[in-house]
């Protein structure tokens, strides 16, 4: 037991604040990609990442005023009704420094690390429109300048953006191009003297489109390659509204986040100086990918913050309202809903801060897959939890007088923007498959070629797997283990699932090879499993730390973790069983057949139940 304490205390040494070290080696694959090989990299996730005491005090100093601001001066109902954020509120946010949370201090921002950014995101998410406005501004709008900007560009633009004087927007989507980069029609042609580009085109659904003065625009440019071929490639530009030719349409009337300004932006012969190119000409694709992949993890803490507030509000109601002479909180179904919400919030928080902590480590590990997993889990969890909270209130939850319907409408967009959940599932699964495939290719090819020795070994392995095998990744040791003994069961389940998942991925690669890109239903299951695995890891890691250092209510932590791990274990096993060859549980063929018939006729096919033949 003392081993745990020492480990936890040792890990509580001050880590790096917000200084990003230089990247000296190739980025490590971090944790998630290794799961696809059945390998559990414990040094990444155990112990749970911590921040130093100074940092904690610093962040708590920020949290107070922000909470006060949101409690007193933000009227979410009015914002939702008027579909507009009042300028005083925007000014207040700028004064608090919330427009430049991740901008380094030398440019006037707060210079917060990812963890601290996630912490503040918990409070900002209380109002969905403000959260989306701020996210569109800093998580994607000015991230390009932060990541790929030259020093002159940073010095020119970041100070004003940090104070909130200028707002940024991210212009990528066009009417014909959602995630398909090849169909971008906006064009940037170089002028004759080579000093500026002429930008022509229109972008659709741009958050902050009406408020922003600095846009990160992606357009097609012709570049001449080394071998003389002329190609059309995407380039990223920083475009100011003052360059002229930038117009925006009227704000779109949306279902939720109505305060956020979403509109079309048109560029007509906008002159963009050559110095405003982000990265290099023709390198816009990489810039776009880096920007999109880096901002996702904060959705976890934002959703968790919202759900925690919802639990408070809903519990207040459930414990006071009486029906059939019993309080609502005494009914089993209502209790189940509360447990569900608490488990989801706990796991979301754990995943978000684990990912933020991993990203804050020196060496800049590539955590894009983990961030995508956090986004998928949190968005779906938030939608389900808000739905349940509204359900607990019943009819009251449906009325506009109560905020639940606003939360429901605001949380629906979480599943759609920043990469729809379906696309992110494909991303998670395919990136992992790519990584695993690279390492496993040789082995699989050897077996397929007919190497008898290897084939026999595989057979023996399969038999041992099916008859029962002990899996030990070293996280459950007696002394100096990483997982607390009260989480033994959950740890064992995690280990089993990871091992079984590794063998299943091997099997899938053997069966499908690179054509697995077309098997989206199998990939969906793969990504569901790996999201659950990451969630289990995060929850176990956090609960372990919690009970080791003795945080308040640590036994509740352990309880929630055990509940979640048991559920996730069964779901994973079912999904893994579905992924085996000739599995009875696998209904993919039937689903595809039914869908094909429906889409052929483009209608519902069955005759009406009241039809007769004679």
**Residues with a known catalytic role:** 418
Beta carbon nearer to another protein, 553 or 613:
613
Distance CA 72, CA 291 (A): 33
As measured in angstroms, the least distance from the Cβ of 531 to another protein is 15
Q: How far apart, in Å, are the Cα atoms of 529 and each of 204, 373, 574?
A: 35, 11, 10
The set of residues, in sequence order, having a beta carbon less than 8 Å from that of 142 and lying 6+ positions away, is 103, 157, 158, 161, 168, 214, 216
Least distance (Å) between residue 287 CB and another protein: 11
Report d(CA 483, CA 492) in Å as an integer. 10
Q: Are strands 322-323 and 246-248 parallel, antiparallel or unpaired?
A: unpaired
Shortest distance, position 204 Cβ to another protein, whole Å: 16
- Whose Cβ is closer to another protein: residue 339's or residue 459's? 459
Rounded to 5°, angle at Cα 546 from 545 and 548: 60
The count of residues in the chain is 614
Cβ distance 341 to 391 under 8 Å? no
In the complex, the smallest distance separating the C-beta of residue 433 from another protein, rounded to whole angstroms, is 6
Which residue lies nearer to another protein by CB, 141 or 357?
141
**Residue ranges that bind another protein, judged by CB under 8 A:** 172, 179-182, 233-234, 285, 288-289, 292, 419, 423-424, 426-427, 430-431, 433-434, 437-438, 441, 444-445, 448, 509-517, 581, 602, 613-614
* Of residues 424 and 494, the one with the C-beta less far from another protein: 424
Query: Of the two residues 164 and 282, which places its CB atom closer to another protein in the complex?
Result: 282
Q: How far is CA 507 from CA 6, 28, 127, 201, 528, in A?
A: 41, 25, 46, 47, 17
Helices 488-512 + 421-449 axis angle, to 10: 70
Q: Give the orientation angle of helix 298-320 with respect to helix 114-124, to 10 degrees.
A: 40
Beta carbon nearer to another protein, 380 or 519: 519
Q: Please, what is the angle between helix 284-294 and helix 368-393, to 10°?
A: 40
Query: In DSSP terms, which residues pair with 422 in a beta bridge?
Result: none
For the bound state, the minimum distance from the C-beta of residue 234 to another protein, rounded and expressed in Å, comes to 7
Q: In the bound complex, what is the minimum distance in angstroms from residue 140's beta carbon to another protein? A: 12
Choose between 129 and 421: whose C-beta lies nearer to another protein.
Answer: 421
Contacts of 21 (CB under 8 A, 6+ apart): 362, 363, 364
Q: Distance between CA atoms of 277 and 219, rounded to whole angstroms?
A: 11
CB of 592 to another protein, least distance (A): 10
């Amino acid at each position: 037991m003392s081993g745990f304490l020492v480990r936890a205390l040792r890990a509580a040494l001050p880590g790096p604040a917000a200084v990003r070290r230089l990247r000296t080696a190739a980025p490590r694959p971090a944790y998630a990609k290794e799961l696809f090989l059945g390998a559990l990299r414990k040094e990444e996730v155990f112990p749970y990442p911590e921040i130093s005491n100074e940092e904690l005090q610093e962040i708590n100093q920020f949290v107070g005023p922000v909470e006060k601001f949101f409690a007193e001066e933000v009227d979410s109902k009015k914002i939702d009704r008027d579909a507009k954020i009042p300028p005083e509120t925007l000014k207040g946010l700028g004064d608090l420094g919330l427009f430049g949370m991740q901008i380094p201090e030398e440019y006037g921002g707060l210079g917060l690390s990812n963890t601290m950014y996630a912490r503040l995101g918990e409070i900002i998410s209380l109002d969905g429109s403000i959260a989306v406005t701020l996210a569109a501004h800093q998580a994607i709008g000015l991230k390009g300048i932060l990541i790929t900007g030259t020093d002159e560009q940073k010095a020119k633009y970041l100070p004003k953006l940090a104070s909130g004087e200028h707002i940024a927007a991210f212009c990528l989507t066009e009417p014909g191009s959602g995630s398909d980069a090849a169909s971008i029609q906006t064009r940037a042609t170089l002028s004759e003297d080579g000093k500026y580009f002429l930008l022509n085109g229109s972008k659709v659904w741009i958050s902050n489109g009406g408020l922003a003065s600095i846009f990160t625009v992606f357009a097609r440019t012709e570049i001449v390659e080394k071998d003389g071929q002329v190609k059309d490639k995407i380039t990223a530009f920083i475009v100011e509204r003052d360059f002229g030719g930038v117009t925006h349409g009227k704000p779109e009337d949306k279902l939720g986040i109505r305060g956020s300004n979403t509109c079309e932006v048109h560029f007509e012969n906008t002159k963009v100086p050559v110095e405003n190119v982000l990265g290099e000409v023709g390198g816009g694709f990489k810039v776009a990918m880096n920007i999109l992949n880096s901002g996702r993890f904060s959705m976890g803490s934002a959703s968790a913050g919202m759900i925690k507030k919802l639990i408070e509000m809903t519990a207040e109601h459930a414990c006071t309202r009486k029906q059939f002479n019993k309080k609502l909180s005494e009914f089993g179904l209502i209790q189940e809903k509360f447990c569900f919400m608490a488990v989801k919030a706990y796991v979301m928080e754990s995943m978000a801060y684990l990912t933020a902590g991993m990203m804050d480590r020196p060496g800049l590990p590539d955590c894009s897959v983990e961030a995508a997993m956090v986004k998928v889990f949190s968005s779906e969890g938030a939608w389900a939890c808000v739905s349940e909270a509204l359900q607990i209130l019943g009819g009251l939850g449906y009325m506009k007088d109560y905020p639940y319907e606003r939360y429901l409408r605001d949380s629906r967009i979480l599943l759609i923007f920043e990469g729809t959940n379906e696309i992110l599932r494909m991303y998670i699964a395919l990136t992992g498959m790519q990584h695993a495939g690279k390492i496993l290719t040789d082995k699989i090819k050897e077996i397929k070629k007919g190497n008898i020795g290897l084939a026999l070994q595989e057979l023996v392995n399969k038999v041992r797997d099916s008859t029962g095998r002990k899996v030990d990744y070293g996280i459950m040791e007696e002394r100096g283990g990483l997982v607390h003994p009260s989480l033994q069961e959950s740890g064992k389940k995690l280990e089993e699932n990871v091992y079984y998942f590794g063998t299943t991925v091997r099997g899938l690669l053997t069966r499908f090879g690179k054509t697995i890109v077309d098997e989206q239903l199998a990939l969906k299951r793969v990504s569901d499993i790996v999201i659950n695995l990451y969630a289990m890891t995060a929850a176990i890691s956090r609960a372990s730390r919690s009970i080791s250092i003795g945080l308040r209510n640590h036994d509740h932590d352990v309880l929630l973790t055990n509940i979640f791990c048991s559920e996730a274990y069964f779901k994973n096993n079912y999904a893994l069983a579905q992924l085996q060859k000739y599995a009875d549980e696998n209904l993919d063929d039937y689903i595809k057949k039914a869908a094909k018939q429906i889409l052929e006729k483009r209608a519902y096919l069955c005759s009406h139940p009241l039809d007769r033949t004679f």
